[in-house]
Amino acid sequence: MHLHKYEKIWLVFGIGSLILFMVILGYGAFWKGTHPQSHGQIIDPNNVEAYDAFKPENLGVTKVDEGRYVVNIVASAFNYDFGVDDEGNALKHLRIPKGSNVLFQITSPDVVHGFNVAGTNVNMMVEPGYVSKMETVLDTPGEYTIVCNEYCGVGHHLMFGTLEVYE
């Protein structure tokens, strides 16, 4: 079989590109230890309160150590549940000190939602039955809007809150 000169060039280029891609992927996966995100924690979407982090008394901001906080949230039916205040009113506002290391843990009992803190690197997809987690450091003081960036139904525009990073 006779191959034309340009066919040989493209075959060598294509196979070389494939090998280079596989080497780069293998280097990242095995040497650097980077893997696609997996949902390590699976919970029953019909009973999210069975998981300690999502019990009503554990929702919202919790200080776990000096400069370290955990924020537990349940996203459902056009609402972010941040917990309740001392008077039993639903919270729509979170407060975190500047420079804190914050772990966001979020789940949903109903449909896919989004969780985006506008102006920061916090952006997650929240799927029913899984716990979505993201850890970040909040260095810039200010008030940030929390929005659902995955269309979840007719009341989607009502799904918002605020996060205040204070001095």
Report the C-alpha gap between 148 and 146 in whole angstroms: 7
- CB neighbours of residue 131 within 10 Å: 20
Instruction: Scan for tokens 């069975």, then name that residue.
Output: 50
Q: For the chain, where are the alpha helices, taking DSSP H only?
A: 5-26
Q: What is the pLDDT along the chain (167 residues), one digit of tens a residue?
A: 788 999 999 999 999 999 999 999 888 878 777 665 655 688 888 898 889 999 989 999 999 999 999 999 999 989 999 988 888 888 889 999 999 999 999 999 999 999 999 999 899 999 998 899 999 999 999 999 999 999 998 999 999 999 999 98
How far apart are alpha carbons 3 and 82 in whole angstroms? 66
Structure token digits, residue 2: 């006779």
Contact 69, 103 (CB under 8 A): yes
